[in-house]
Structure 1
Amino acid sequence: MAEDVHYCPLHECVFSGDVRRLSGLLRLHDVTKKDKHGNTALHLAVMLGRKECVHLLLAHGAPVKVKNLAGWSPLAEAISYGDRQTISSLVRKLKQQAREQMEERRPNLVSALNQMGDFYMELKWDFQSWVPLVSRILPSDICRIHKRGSSIRLDTTLVDFNDMRWERGDISFLFNGDRKPNLSLTVLDNKAELYQRVRYEETEMEIEDEVDILMSSDIMAAQMSTKSITFTRAQTGWIFREDRKEMVGPFHSEFYVINGMLLESRKRREHLSEEDLQKNKAIMESFTKGSTQGFDNNGEPVRRPSLSPPPESKVSWEEYIGSEPGNHPTLGRNLVYKETSKAFKATVAMSPDFPLSVDMLLNVLEVIAPFKHFSKLREFVLMKLPPGFPVKIDIPILPTVTAKITFQEFAFRNDIKAELFEIPSHYIEDPTRLRWQ
C-alpha cells in the first residue's frame, strides 16, 4: 500500500513548534522522510526559524545533504533565513555526515581496489567553449593515474577551477588505502616541493570563514538534469549514412549522441542587500587570497552577523500540506531567484575493448572526487550509459564550458613501484599551501 504523504507527524510538530512532542516522535519516525514537497522536517525547521527543532533533528541524524522538489537543501534555506548559528550548525553537521559516509564506504572501496589489477592510465582533458574569447584561455591537461594495491596516484597540472579562474600547477594526489584515514590523502606540490595532508576535520576558524562566505554570496544550485536523456547512434557519411565507428587511441569505439542533456543553474539572493552585492566581490577576493575581510581591536576576524529574521509565517499546516506538490506558500523570505537552463548535445564513444570496467572506474573516481572536474566525470559515468566503456566523453562543466575527456592509454602492469605513492623525503609539510579543496 502506498504511504500517505500527508501523514508527516515530524513535519507537523515542527510547524507547530512543539519541541517536546517532536522529541518523543523522533524515536518512532524516520527523520529522513520527505513530505509531498520533498521537504524533510529539517527543511521546515530551518525555513520557519525553529532553532530548537533544528538542533533536535540534527542530534537525531537528520540528513543535511538532501534536496526538496525545488532543488534546495536545508543549508540553502538556512542561508536564506540568515541565522548564523543555524548555518554554522548545518555546515558542521554536513561535514560530519560526509566524513561518516566516506568512512562507511572506505573498507569496501579499499577491498575493491585491492582486487583490481595494478594499472597505469592516461586521461586527456580538453576544455572548450562556444564563447570564442573564453575558448582561447581554456586549458587542456593530461592526467596520469597509477594504481598499486589499494593506492592511487594522480598527476595533474590542472589543480582546480572556480567559475572562470583556472589554477595551474604540478600537483600529485596520493591515496593510500592501507593507512589511517587522517594519513591516507596527501597532495604534493612538485614545483615548490611541499606536501599537505588532506584533513577530514576543519578548524573552527575554517568553518566560520566558510559561514562568512555562504552568508555573503548567492545561493547556487547547478545540476545536470538526466531525466530526459536518450542515446542514439551517431551517424557518419553524406549520402550513405552509417553508424560512426572509430579508433580512440588503441580502442575500437562506437559513437553515440546524447540527447536531452540539460545543465540547470539556479541562483538565489534574497538574503543579500544592495550593499552586500557591492561588498561581495571584495570579500570573496580577500577569501581567495586566504585572508578574512577585517579584524577587530583584539585581532579577531569580524564575522558577518545574523540577518533580522523574516516575518513570522502565517501559513497553517493544512494550507502547506494541501498545496500543489513543489508549490507551497512561502515560509521564509520571498525568493529573489534566477534560473537558467542550457541544453547540450554531447557525444560519448563506448568501447567493448577497454580493459577496465565502469564499476572499477567509479571506484577510482571516488578516491579523486575532491577535484571538482573529476566529481563531474563521476556524476556522468553514474548515468545509464550504452554498453561498453566510455573512452571519449563530452561533459558540461560550467554553463559556457564543456570538457572533452579521452581515455587515451590504459595498461594493466605489475611493475608499478611502491615509491610512487610515498612523499619524497626532501618535501616539506605546509598545511596552508594548497587551498584546493
Structure 2
Amino acid sequence: MVGVSYIQTEYPLHWLVWNNNSSSLEEELGKRIHDKEKKDNRGRSPLMLAVTLGHMESVRSLLNFEANVNCENADGWSVLQEAVATGDPELLQLILERRDFQRYSNRMAGIPELLQKLKQAPDFYVEMKWEFTSWVPLVSRMCPSDTYKVYKRGSNVRIDTTLLGFDHTNWQRGNRSYVFQGHNDGATMLEIDHDARSVYSEQMRAPPDSLVLSPSEEAISQRLTTPIVTTYIDTDKISFERNKAGVWGWRSDKSEVVNSHECKVFSATNVELVTKTRTEHLTETDKELARSKHIRTPLQNFLQPIADVPETSSAPQTEEIVNSTNPTNITPEEYFDSEIDLAGRDIGRPKELSKKVQKFKATLWLCENYPLSLPEQILPIVDLMAISSSHFAKLRNFIQMQLPAGFPVKIEIPIFHVLNARITFGNIFGMDVDVPNVSHIQEEDRLTCVLDDVVFQAPPSYSKLTGVESRRQFSTEEEDDLLQFAIQQSLIEAGTEKEEVDIWEALKAQRPSRPTTPNLAEEERQLQRAIQASLAMCNHTAVSTDSDNTSPEVDSELDMVLRLSEQEQKQLEEQQMEEQKLLEQVLQLSLTEK
C-alpha cells in the first residue's frame, strides 16, 4: 500500500483537496508548477475530487485558478453532474456559474480557429437534408425535417435553416441565416431573421473575467429534484461491414445511387446507445414523481422488448452513514493506490444507478470520388454547428470515428429511443438546382465553386438589433432535453374524454382544452384519428401476444375510435392492416438481427 509521502509527491493537489486544506491549496496553485487538470488513478481531477467529496472551500480555490469544469471522470459523469449528486444547492450554483462561463468562453474562442481552418480549404456550397425517421407508425410524421444550406468562401460561412427548435408544444419554424465572418483578430456572427427582416450582430470574442452567468433559482431547484441522466453512443464495439445485395444464394456488395453519386453501402453494427440515470440526490417524493412521469403506455410496453436491454444497480444503503461523502470509509492510502481493487466501494454519496443499453444499426452511403473533403470542409462546419446544436454534436461524435474510405453522402444514425436521423448531402455547388449567387467553373482537373459577396452580408433594408434579449437560442442541453421530451410525449395517449384530441394536445399529454371546431384542417383531423387508431391497434396487438391473460376492457378513448362512421371505419381498417404488416416486418427483422 502506498504511503502519504508518495501521495504528496505524485498527487500534491489531490492530497490537499482530500484534506480540504484550501489555504495550502491556493498557495500551491499560485506557484503554477502543478498540473491542476492531472487525474488520479481513479480518473478524477482535483476539482472533480473536491466536488465529489463536497469540499466547498477547495472547490472555490480551484475555480479561482480556472480549473476546468467541463471534464468527466472515469465513469463519464461531468463535474456538474457530480455537483448535482451532492444535493448541495450552493455548490451546484458555484459549479453552474463557472461551467456556463467556461463553455461560453471556449465557444467564442474556438470559432475564429474553426473559420481559419476553413479559410485554407476550397470554397463550396452544399445542402444537408435532415430527416428524423422512426419505425414506429406515424411518429415520423410528428418529427421535424429540415435542409441546411451551407455556403463557404474563405473564412466566411453562412448556414440557412428553417427549423429553429422545439418550444414545449410546437416545432418552431422560421427562415434564418447564420453568418460567420472571419477576421484577422476574431470573428463576427450575424443572425438574420428573414421573417422579421432583422439582424443581430455579435463579436465572437472571449468574455471578460468579471462576467457572471448566474443560474436562476428555478434552474437550481429543477436539477436538484430530477434524476441525473446521461446518454451517449458507445463507439468501442462498433464495426463496419459492407452491405450485400442479391437473391438465391448470389450475394454481391451493395451499391446505391444517392443524388447522382454512386455509393457503397455500409452498416455500422454494435451501435449501442447507453442511458445512465442516477437518483441518490432525490427525496422519496421526488423519486415517486419521476417514476410517475415515466409510466409506460401500452405502446411503450409493446416496443420495450425490441429496443431496450435494461441493467439496474444500486449501492447498498447502510443504516447509519457517519461521513456522507465517504460512506465506506476509504482511506487515502487505499484510494490513491492503483493496485487496490475497491470492489464497488467509492467516495461520494452511495450511488443509485440504473443503466439502459439500446442496440441499433447505423447505415452509411460512401462515395469515393465526391467533390468535398470530409475532414477539411465538412468537419469544421459540423464543429461550428455543434456549438449550439445537439443534433450536430451527435453527428460529429459519429463521423469522427474511423469510417471506411469515402465521403458519407448519406448517414443514418440513431438519435433517441425510437428515432433515427438521416443526413443526406446534395446539390453540391448548386449543380442540381440553381442557387442564387452560387455558380461553378469546370476546370481541366477540378470543379471550382464561386460565391458572390452578397451571400455573406445582411440585406441593407433589415433592421439592426442589439442586446442578448433580442434573440433566443436553446442551449445544447435544452434542445436535447426538449427533443427527448417531444418524442416521449408523442408515444403517450392523451386525454380520457370522448372528445377529439388535436396533435399538440397529444404532445402535451393533456385533456382537450376546447371542443373540436369545424374549421380544423382536414389533414390535421385525419392525422389525429390515425394516431388514435395506431395506438388502438398497437394496444390490441400487445394484448394478443399474452396468451395467458384475457383481453382487458376497451378504453373509452378507443371506444371512440371504434364508433367512427362506417366510411371512416373502413379507411381506418385498411390503414391498420398496412401498419400491422409494417410492425410485423419490424418485429421479425429485430428478432432476426438479435
TM-score by length of 2: 0.62
Q: Does 1:410 align with 2:428?
A: yes
1:238–1:326 CA distance, 2 compared to 1 (3 A):
farther
Distance 1:130 1:429, change over 3 A: same
Task: State the partner residue of 1:320.
Answer: 335
Shift of residue 422 of structure 1?
A: 2.6
Aligned mate of 1:22, from 21, 25, 49: 25
Residue 270 of structure 1: how far off its partner (Å): 2.4
Offset, 1:64: 1.4
Distance 1:321 1:215 in 2: 30
Shift of 1:225: 0.8
2:393 matched residue in structure 1 = 375
Displacement of 1:361 in angstroms is 0.9
Give the whole-Å Cα distance in 1 for the aligned partners of 2:225 and 2:465: 32
Q: In the aligned structure 1, how far is the partner of 2:178 from the partner of 2:79?
A: 32
1:234 and 2:243 matched: yes
Worse-matched range after superposition: 314-323 or 335-344:
314-323
Are 1:31 and 1:61, in contact at CA under 8 Å, matched by a contact in 2? no
Residues 383 and 316 of structure 1, relative CA distance in 2, 3 Å threshold: same
Q: Does 1:392 align with 2:410?
A: yes
Give SS of 1:184's match.
strand
Which is worse superposed, 14-23 or 67-76? 14-23
> How many residue pairs align between the two structures?
406
SS of residue paired to 2:38: coil
Structure in which a larger fraction of residues adopt strand: 1
Offset of residue 418 of structure 1:
2.3
Q: Is the 8 A contact 1:46 1:77 kept in 2?
A: yes
Say which is worse superposed, 20-29 or 141-150, in terms of deviation: 20-29
CA distance in 1, matches of 2:412, 2:165: 18
Given the superposition, is the C-alpha separation of residues 205 and 19 from structure 1 closer, same or farther in structure 2, using an over 3 Å criterion? Answer: closer
| Contact 1:175–1:367 (Cα < 8 Å) also in 2 | no
Query: 2:15 matched to 1:12?
Result: yes
Once the 2 structures are TM-superposed, how far is the Cα of residue 350 of structure 1 from its aligned partner? 1.3
Change (3 A) 1:68 1:164: farther
Deviation for aligned residue 1:36: 2.3
Which of 35, 43, 46 is the equivalent residue of 1:38?
Answer: 43
Letter in 1 for 2:462: H
Distance in 2 between the 1:101 and 1:146 partners?
Answer: 24
Contact 1:124 1:142 in 2 (8 A): yes
Quote the offset at 1:197 in angstroms: 4.5
> 1:33-432 maps to which residues of 2 (within 5 A)?
33-102=38-107, 104-161=109-166, 166-178=171-183, 184-197=188-201, 204=213, 210-239=219-248, 240-276=250-286, 311=324, 313=326, 314-322=329-337, 329-359=345-375, 360-369=377-386, 370-411=388-429, 414-424=449-459, 425-427=461-463, 429=465, 431-432=469-470
For residues 196 and 226 of structure 1, what CA distance do their matches in structure 2 show?
39
Which amino acid in structure 2 is aligned with residue 380 of structure 1?
F
What is the Cα deviation at residue 177 of structure 1?
Answer: 1.8
Which fold has the larger relative contact order, with Cα–Cα distance below 8 Å and residues 6 or more apart in sequence? 1
SS of residue matched to 1:80? helix
Residue 164 of structure 1, CA deviation:
9.7
Residue 435 in structure 1 maps to residue 480 in structure 2: no
The structural deviation recorded for 1:236 is: 0.9
Alignment check: 8 A CA contact 2:325 2:349 kept: no
Give the stretch that moved more between structures: 315-324 or 66-75: 315-324
User: Residue 228 of structure 1 aligns to a residue in which SS?
Assistant: coil
Task: Sort the Cα spacing of 1:271 and 1:196 in 2 relative to 1 into closer, same or farther, 3 A.
Answer: farther
Shift of 1:25: 4.1
Report the structure, 1 or 2, having the larger helix content: 2
Q: Deviations over 1:53-105 (max 9, x none)?
A: 11122223322111112111111111111223322232232233334444554
1:193·1:428 contact (CA, 8 Å) conserved in 2?
no
For the aligned residue pairs, the C-alpha RMSD in angstroms reads 3.2
Q: Please tell me whether the aligned partners of residues 97 and 215 of structure 2 are also in contact (alpha carbons under 8 angstroms).
A: no
Q: Which moved more, 1:20-29 or 1:160-169?
A: 160-169
Give 1:301's aligned residue: none
Alpha-carbon distance in structure 1 between the residues aligned to 2:427 and 2:18: 57
Shift of 1:405: 0.8
The alignment-based identity, stated in percent, is 33
Q: Secondary structure at the match of 2:427?
A: strand
Question: Match for 2:237: what amino acid?
Answer: S
Letter of the 2:195 counterpart: K
1:231-280 C-alpha deviation (Å, 9 max, x unpaired): 11111111311111122112221111101111111122322335446888
Moved more, 399-408 or 416-425: 416-425
- Equivalent pair of 2:52/2:86 in contact (CA under 8 Å): yes
Given that 1:36 and 1:326 are in contact with CA atoms closer than 8 Å, whether structure 2 keeps it comes out as: no
Q: Deviations over 1:321-355 (max 9, x none)?
A: 35866965343323232211111111111111111
Which sits farther off after the overlay, 61-70 or 200-209?
A: 200-209
Query: Normalized against structure 1, the TM-score is what?
Result: 0.82
Alignment partners' CA distance in 1, 2:213 and 2:289: 24
Identify which range, 18-27 or 192-201, moves more after superposition: 192-201
Q: Please list every run of 5 or more consecutive structure 2 residues that lacks an aligned counterpart in the other structure.
A: 1-5, 292-321, 430-439, 441-447, 476-594
**SS of residue paired to 1:221:** strand
Unmatched runs of 5 consecutive residues or more in structure 1: 282-308
Q: Displacement of 1:218 after TM fit?
A: 2.6
Per the TM alignment, residue 119 of structure 1 is displaced from its structure 2 partner at its CA by 1.6
